[in-house]
Amino acid sequence: MKILVATDGSKNALRAVKYAAKLADDLKSESTITLISVHDDVALRHAERFVGKKAVADYLRDLSEQDLAESRKALDKAGARHDMVIRTGNVGAEIAAAAAEGKFDLILMGSKGRSALKDLLMGSVAQRVMEFAKTPVLMVK
């Protein structure tokens, strides 16, 4: 089974990573886990004019590597095979696109635990992933 785990460095995302490791172990198969970190670069496009595209790309890559650090440690500790993907753009759309391109069987995400009212007003990455993805999405609380 190919599992894509979206992570943003939060405790909720780390719970999803640990669940993925347990799921892969429970399946006793050649499961692979891919961690994905996506940062929306829209707000930084204006900054590119002043600091350059490379500086913005380096900054976003550093953020993603920080987000992935604890998740990678947890998977190493669990002995789970894994790799990682770093992307920029619309977070929900990029996660869904990566799942489709990589022919993943499952997308795992941590739940933020916001209220229904806040999600209605602000939207959520999980809602966007479910909107765009053809791959099943499992939320871990």
Q: Which domains does the chain have, with CATH numbers?
A: 2-140 (3.40.50.620)
Q: Is the pLDDT of residue 115 over 50?
A: no
Task: Report the predicted TM-score, pTM, of the whole model to 2 decimal places.
Answer: 0.89
**What integer pLDDT is reported at residue 123 of this predicted model?**
56
In order, the DSSP letters of 71-123 are HHHHHHHHT--EEEEEEES-HHHHHHHHHHHTT-SEEEEE-----HHHHHHH-
Q: Is the pLDDT of residue 114 over 90?
A: no
Q: Is the pLDDT of residue 55 over 60?
A: yes
Q: Is the pLDDT of residue 140 over 80?
A: yes
**What integer pLDDT is reported at residue 50 of this predicted model?**
84
In b/e form, how buried is each residue of 88-105, taking b as 16+ CB within 10 angstroms?
bebbbbbbbbbbeeeebe
Q: Is the pLDDT of residue 106 over 90?
A: yes
